[in-house]
Amino acid sequence: MTQPVDQADVVVVGAGPGGSATAAYLAQHGLDVVLLEKATFPRDKICGDGLTPRAVKELVSLGVDTTGWQRTQGLRIKGGGHTLTLDWPTTRTFPGYGMVRTRGQFDEALARHAQQRGAKLLEATSVTEPMRDERTGRVVGVSAKRLDAKGRATGETYAVRAPVVVASDGVSSRLATAVGREKREDRVMGVAVRAYYKTPRQDDYLESHLELWTRDDAGNRQLMPGYGWLFPLEDGRTNVGLGILDTSSAFGKTDYKDVMRRWVEDIDADWHLTHDESAGPIRGAALPMGFNRSPLYADGLLLVGDAGGMVNPFNGEGIDYALEAARVGSEIIAQALTRGSDADRERVLAAYPELMKSALGGYFTLGRWFAHAIGHPEVMRLATKYGLPRTTLMKFLLKVMANLPEERGGAASDRIINAMARMAPDA
């Protein structure tokens, strides 16, 4: 039986933030876009749900309606017996507020936004493999299978051909792996666990714990490796999670779901947390950091978001970089598809990795160095003990870690951060 084949200008695989934003931008350019998503909305993703001003800037550019979303004024940092509350910096480049939105709500909002812009969204459609040109090996489309409400194959297949395929299919990226773009072992990898908790506390600051104090079975307090967060939502809940980097000697040796249960008990006097079982158990996910796959474009396949390892090694944030890659990549694709020959089109598409590395490569390298440094417990202890009491220093570090310097000019701190990123070798 011959498989029916659809035709499009671009096919985007994965309707996470990067994929949906790419599809929305491309449709806005007047292109015929097919967006494929394995799940059906709403669907959950493991994430801290926090959006820094850098992500908010991208949502404004995309034109997403964020009415009613939880806004945050800044970040509260705890560690070494100190608590420091910092407002987000207000600059010409970035707004002075962040947001928190569950991924179930956030991802569906962006997918529907892409639909409204004109993208064709197919949910419950699992991509099985890339279609490749027999002569050149170039990716020219994808094959997929349709799923039922329980995620089982229905027997119905689907295929779509397109001059450009965008892989925004997550950390495992079946498409990138299928064409031989394996994850780089010299890049930092993180793991995070999180769950939702009900709390009577109202808060408009993200809270970050640089030390994880728990209690052992005998009731004695003990310090565990990693960091923790509480990101408040607008509905009386908070996203609670823990993260650890593979630069730590404890990576892969610690049951972080158990650590989180103990940590929640230790901070309960401040937050009065009750696990929201209706939102699911404590769940974990990997965080691919610092462009851990390359090339970001070659032979018809362009990578966006986690598929390309676009997570900030400083803070584990990936949504803003997925949205940024969507904006940059869609513009390049739109320009490329106006070219009259395959060679001219490829020359334009080849600019994508160059632009992404130019914008973020040096910064991600700084983050990788930072991640290796704090993987040593003594470095983290000293940084927490002597850094947190120094407000000016911590304001500077907040701007560094959230990547919020003015793009041009600005204060001395902005110029220092940009100079550091320019001098660092590209990731």
- pLDDT tens per residue, range 283-333: 999 999 999 999 999 999 999 999 999 999 999 999 999 999 999 999 999
Strands (DSSP E) found in 123-233: 125-132, 139-147, 153-161, 164-167, 189-198, 205-209, 212-215, 221-224, 227-232
CA–CA separation, 59 vs 53, rounded Å?
Answer: 10
What is the b/e burial string over 21-46, where b = at least 16 CB atoms within 10 angstroms of the residue's CB? bbbbbbbbbebbbbbbbbbebebebb
Question: Left, alpha or beta for 191 (phi > 0: left; psi -120 to 50: alpha)?
Answer: beta
- In terms of Cβ atoms closer than 10 Å to its own Cβ (0-12, 13-18, 19+), residue 234 is middle
Using alpha carbons, select from 89, 93, 88, 60 the residue that is nearest to residue 74.
Answer: 88
The first and second tokens of residue 144, run together, are 């997929």
CA–CA separation, 66 vs 49, rounded Å?
Answer: 14
* Strand 98-100 to 221-224 pairing: unpaired
State the pTM of this model. Answer: 0.94
φ/ψ of residue 337, rounded to 5: -75, -5
- Cα 389 to Cα 61, 144, 207, 287, 414: the distances in Å are 37, 55, 17, 30, 22
Using alpha carbons, select from 1, 10, 4 the residue that is nearest to residue 297.
Answer: 10
Interhelix angle 351-374/377-387, nearest 10 degrees: 90
- Cα 310 to Cα 136, 166, 304, 329, 344: the distances in Å are 28, 14, 8, 13, 27
Please name the helix (run of DSSP H) or strand (run of DSSP E) that holds residue 12, with its range, or none.
strand 10-13
Interhelix angle 17-28/103-117, nearest 10 degrees: 20
Q: Per DSSP, what are the bridge partners of residue 401?
A: none
CA–CA separation, 361 vs 383, rounded Å?
Answer: 25
CA–CA separation, 72 vs 84, rounded Å?
Answer: 15
- Tokens 């349709």 sit on residue: 146
pLDDT tens across 140-193, in order?
A: 999 999 999 999 999 999 999 999 999 999 999 999 999 999 898 889 899 999
CA–CA separation, 270 vs 102, rounded Å?
Answer: 23
What pLDDT does residue 173 have? Answer: 96
Cis ω before 4 (30° cut-off from 0): no
H-only helix segments in 120-271? 174-178, 256-266, 268-271
pLDDT in single tens digits along all 427 residues of the chain: 446 789 999 999 999 999 999 999 999 999 999 999 999 999 999 999 999 999 999 999 999 999 999 999 999 999 888 899 999 998 999 999 999 999 999 999 999 999 999 999 999 999 999 999 999 999 999 999 999 999 999 999 999 999 999 999 999 999 999 999 989 888 989 999 999 999 999 999 999 998 888 877 777 777 777 899 999 999 999 999 999 888 887 788 888 899 999 999 888 888 999 999 999 999 999 999 999 999 999 999 999 999 999 999 999 999 999 999 999 999 999 999 999 999 999 999 999 999 999 999 999 999 999 888 877 767 777 777 777 778 888 899 999 999 999 988 889 999 999 999 999 988 7
Are 77 and 84 a contacting pair, CB within 8 Å? yes
CA–CA separation, 60 vs 100, rounded Å?
Answer: 15
